Amino acid sequence: MMKIQTQSCVVNGKYDVAVVEQEVDYQGIGTLVKITRGGICGSDLHYYQEGKVGSFQVRQPMVLGHEVIGEVVASDTARLPVGQKVALNPSKPCGQCKYCLASQQNQCTQMRFFGSAMYFPHVDGAFTQYKVVDSAQCIAFDADRDEKVMVFAEPLAVAIHAAKQPGEVKGIRVFVSGVGPIGCLLVAALKALGADEIVCADLSPRCLDIAQKMGATRCLHAGNDDFSLYQQEKGVFDIAFEVSGHPLSLQRCLEVTRAKGTVVQVGMGGSFPDFPLMLLIAKELTLLGSFRFVEEFDLAVAWLAEGIVNPLPLLSAEFDNQQLAQALAFAGDKSQAAKVQLVF
């Protein structure tokens, strides 16, 4: 039993964030973690800039953050000794629904995901100094690993899950449209999984530069460069990944993917009123969605610990957690920021 004071990064609404003192009550069930570092994600930015993500409106103060690592203060399992470094899996599935029973926990009907306003009361995130979590959410890694690297576990898990959606990618040609942090990590994941050629497109030269550092074979400017070569004979790529959520980006994916190929939709977007349905029908394309991750989180931690993926080209800046508003403002400036980290 212990009660601890913690400083938490909360969002109250649009452009309304604060660092507030809260109390953590650890009853000996689960694991008490001292958070050391966190990564700011697109959804954190949405909550900051719009006070909502999609239709999930912030209706009460909510702790932000779901990309975090830390160290064990106390635990109910011998697997997690005091001082053990851990990456926190932000997913807490129910374990009972038909999806959980089929090992499809990312589709859980009662999922409690860190820093989400989907439910009321909201599920608090992990941008705080101390947090109690289920012990199953703690994935251990060795103390000598670089924390700046390990905090990429959650977005890398999203990328690996997307890379595995269409099946085997070894030896094939792939196209990635949109290379923000998830797109760049997807490039790295595809390279690690043995893709033969990885061609990327984006409107930002800075993003393309990072994609190249992370393993892209060729980088094209989405607005200025010529894609006609890739549209010959109904397209050349076996698989395309749409990672921007923009209608024109999906259109291009459908154009450059060969007949009978697969397009994986990773980028979050609204409705696409002018969806090019005939392309999908005539070329007999498969369109797949990809959402969060399941067992890929553990794999992401292993890949980062072993140096299979180096995410550091994506790291743009780090801020002290007290500078929450500045960190979010900087992270929201896509002209200069990719991934921004908070230090606790």
Note the pLDDT tens digit of each residue in 123-176: 999 999 999 999 999 999 999 999 999 999 999 999 999 999 999 999 999 999
What mean pLDDT comes out for the span 266-289? Answer: 92
In this structure, the answer to whether residues 229 and 243 fall within a common structural domain is yes
Confidence of residue 273 (pLDDT cuts 50, 70, 90): confident
- pTM for the full predicted model: 0.96
DSSP secondary structure, 19-49, as one string: EEEEEEEE-SSSEEEEEEEEE--HHHHHHHH
In this structure, the answer to whether residues 124 and 67 fall within a common structural domain is yes
In this structure, the answer to whether residues 178 and 269 fall within a common structural domain is yes
Residue entry with tokens 């452009």 = 15
Domain count of the fold of the chain: 2
Q: What is the pLDDT of residue 272?
A: 84
Q: What is the pLDDT of residue 98?
A: 98
In this structure, the answer to whether residues 6 and 141 fall within a common structural domain is yes
By the 8 A CB rule, do 147 and 36 touch? Answer: yes
Q: What is the pLDDT of residue 296?
A: 98
In this structure, the answer to whether residues 168 and 148 fall within a common structural domain is no
User: Does 297 fall in a domain?
Assistant: no
Distance from C-alpha of 24 to C-alpha of 8, rounded to nearest angstrom: 11
Q: Among 1-5, 104-108, 140-144, 188-192, whose mean pLDDT is lowest?
A: 1-5
CA distances to 220, 232, 336 from 225, rounded to whole Å, are: 6, 16, 22
Distance from C-alpha of 50 to C-alpha of 75, rounded to nearest angstrom: 37
Distance from C-alpha of 245 to C-alpha of 179, rounded to nearest angstrom: 11
User: Does 213 fall in a domain?
Assistant: yes
In this structure, the answer to whether residues 77 and 144 fall within a common structural domain is yes
CA distances to 1, 140, 311 from 300, rounded to whole Å, are: 33, 12, 11
pLDDT at 7 over 90: yes
What's the domain range around 129? 2-152+311-343
In this structure, the answer to whether residues 16 and 47 fall within a common structural domain is yes
By the 8 A CB rule, do 93 and 105 touch? Answer: yes
pLDDT at 217 over 90: yes
By the 8 A CB rule, do 260 and 234 touch? Answer: no
In this structure, the answer to whether residues 236 and 276 fall within a common structural domain is yes
Query: 3-class SS at 71?
Result: strand
Q: What is the pLDDT of residue 157?
A: 98
In this structure, the answer to whether residues 20 and 145 fall within a common structural domain is yes
Mean pLDDT of the chain: 96
pLDDT at 271 over 90: no
- Tell me which residue of 162, 113, 135 sits closest to 262, measured CA to CA: 162
User: Does 303 fall in a domain?
Assistant: no
In what side-by-side order are the strands of the sheet with 16-26? Answer: 16-26, 2-13, 62-63
Distance from C-alpha of 293 to C-alpha of 290, rounded to nearest angstrom: 8
In this structure, the answer to whether residues 198 and 144 fall within a common structural domain is no
Phi and psi at 39, nearest 5°, equal: -105, 135
